[in-house]
Amino acid sequence: MANADRILVIDDDEAVCGIVSALAKTMGFDCVTTKDPTSFLDLITPSTTLILLDLMMPGMDGIEVLRLLGERHAQARILLMSGMDKRVLETAEKLAQSLGLQVIGRMHKPVPLQALRNTLEAVAKMGPPQMPVEVPTLALPDEQLRAAIERDEFVSHYQPQVNLATGEVTGFEALARWRHPELGLLPPDCFIARIEQLGLIDKLCLRTAELALIDLKGFSLVNGAMPRLSLNASMHSLHNLEFPDQFVALAQSHGVATNKIAIEVTESGLVRQLSRTLDVLTRLRMKGFPLSIDDFGTGYAMMQQLQNVPATELKIDKSLVDLMHENDSDRVMVEKVIEIGHGLGMEVVAEGVTVQEQYDLLRRMGCDGAQGYLISRPMPAERVPGWLGEFARAKTPSKR
Ligand code: C2E
Ligand code: CA
Ligand code: CA
């Protein structure tokens, strides 16, 4: 194999450097090693495709090396090695990911030679590392946003939630989309924050709720009941003292019971502004709306305040669900969140469920509900009735 790819090994253990270097060279890689974590940056060239990094070194530890690589926007793939316990490797991997680095694996020391050979073979086949895909941030003119609200260009897509114990669909979350005349369907990241700044979010929220209530009447569950609707409320709306009455009026005018309309508010928002929003939240709850704490577990440490929020549901953030079937620490976190939610009398729903393993684990842990691409991506209203029919027919025993 003619391979100009460079492998860089950063490890204070000479034996490891020697073994990796010999193996890499027999496989046609250019391999350089260093025991000095303070000078490694000079050894990285544009052809460096893989960095093997020991997390424990005297002088500078692997975590600092990761930070420096992150600051340099290093493109090389990273394989982490450590003689310490699994959790250290898992934590380091997360840190690396949060710094924009691409970790392709972690190996517990002593590194098994065959596993290392397999990894190097896989790297040789991968080709040059890709630049991370940047999501373009659209700066859309404010007039366009204002006009879009007037022209009713916003629609909702609906994502189902299922009951993990029965496998039945229980409800749908409405997720806003902008049907832009030239750009096509735009996700909420492109417009929600700006609409909040323009003070137009209440208007969008009420309109979204109204359209969703109309759509909801076209959806019916296998038992003929109407599914529950979940709506995302912005913190701004929770400062509006009229919000609960406006919502009650809306529900009444569409003949939908308030206990069928769950209001989702994010944990981060609540942490910042709980005291200012508590009266609106309490009133919503008193009028019968289920209240859900969205994105729970994203690190805002709401634990102490949780018992003061009149919420009925906790939604475990997808970042925790994402690796729960691979990482012990994430799994424990998910388990604890379920325990805390249940302890406070709340239902617990996991979002971002993408693989069957996560689904099965969550069900075994006693989590109440699940939402995610495994069940379905968000879909336009017109697809929902057909999807509900197909889902009822195709329900596999493993999901029941
Ligand atoms: P969210 O409330 O946390 O909604 C869940 C997001 O995760 C949605 O993104 C959904 O499409 C996505 N998702 C669902 N299942 C999976 C999965 O299995 N894997 C992954 N990776 N993602 C999944 P979307 O639709 O782009 O919405 C983003 C955020 O925008 C929402 O996050 C919510 O905070 C906000 N948003 C959406 N609609 C509205 C709205 O009408 N009003 C307000 N204020 N905010 C909204
Ligand atoms: Ca939500
Ligand atoms: Ca969420």
pLDDT digits (tens, 9 = 90+) for 249-303: 999 999 999 999 999 999 888 877 887 888 999 999 999 999 999 999 876 666 7
Domain contains 313: yes
Mean pLDDT of the chain: 88
Model confidence over 357-382: pLDDT tens digits?
Answer: 999 999 999 999 999 999 999 999 99
Based on the fold, state whether residues 107 and 181 are members of the same structural domain. no
The total of structural domains in the chain comes to 2
User: Looking at the predicted structure, is the pLDDT value of residue 325 above 50?
Assistant: yes
Peptide bond into 160 cis (omega under 30): no
Residues around the ion ligand 2 (C-beta < 5 A)? 232, 264, 294
Based on the fold, state whether residues 395 and 250 are members of the same structural domain. yes
What's the CA-to-centroid distance between 392 and ligand 2, angstroms?
A: 24
Domain contains 309: yes
pLDDT score at 399: 47
Pairwise CA distance, residues 255 & 200, whole Å: 26
pLDDT score at 131: 53
| Atom 41 of ligand 1: nearest residue by CA position | 176
Q: Which domain, by its residues, includes 217?
A: 142-399
- What sections of the chain are H helices per DSSP? 14-26, 62-71, 86-98, 113-126, 142-150, 192-197, 201-216, 243-253, 267-286, 303-306, 318-322, 328-343, 356-365, 384-394
CATH number at residue 156: 3.20.20.450
| Domain end marker among 126, 156, 190 | 126
| Domain end marker among 100, 126, 152 | 126
Based on the fold, state whether residues 316 and 279 are members of the same structural domain. yes
pLDDT score at 270: 83
Kindly state the average pLDDT of the residues 44-56: 88
Residue 140: Cβ within 10 Å count: 16
Ligand nearest to the CA of 262: 2
Based on the fold, state whether residues 378 and 230 are members of the same structural domain. yes
The answer to whether the beta carbons of residues 148 and 154 sit under 8 Å apart is: yes
pLDDT score at 136: 42
Percent of the chain with pLDDT over 90: 52
Domain contains 131: no
Domain contains 312: yes
Based on the fold, state whether residues 119 and 169 are members of the same structural domain. no
| Atom 19 of ligand 1: nearest residue by CA position | 352
Based on the fold, state whether residues 280 and 219 are members of the same structural domain. yes
Q: Which of 15-19, 88-92, 327-331, 357-361 has the lowest mean pLDDT?
A: 88-92
Domain contains 183: yes
Burial 48-85 (b: 16+ CB within 10 A, else e): bbbbbbbbbbeebebeebbeebbeeebbbbbbbbbeee
What's the CA-to-centroid distance between 295 and ligand 1, angstroms?
A: 10
Output the pTM of the full model.
0.72
One-letter amino acid identity for 150? E
Based on the fold, state whether residues 48 and 170 are members of the same structural domain. no
Based on the fold, state whether residues 260 and 382 are members of the same structural domain. yes
- More confident of the two residues 348 and 37: 348
Domain contains 40: yes
Domain contains 136: no
pLDDT score at 134: 41
pLDDT score at 396: 55
Based on the fold, state whether residues 202 and 311 are members of the same structural domain. yes
Place of tokens 């029941």: 400
Highest-scoring range by mean pLDDT, 52-66, 71-85, 131-145, 162-176: 162-176
In the structure encoding, which two tokens stand for residue 256, read together?
Answer: 């939908």
pLDDT band for position 397 (cuts 50, 70, 90) = low
| Domain end marker among 126, 154, 182 | 126
The preferred substitution site among 133, 155, 175, 320 for testing ligand 1, maximizing ligand atoms within 8 Å of CB, is: 175
Kindly state the average pLDDT of the residues 131-157: 77
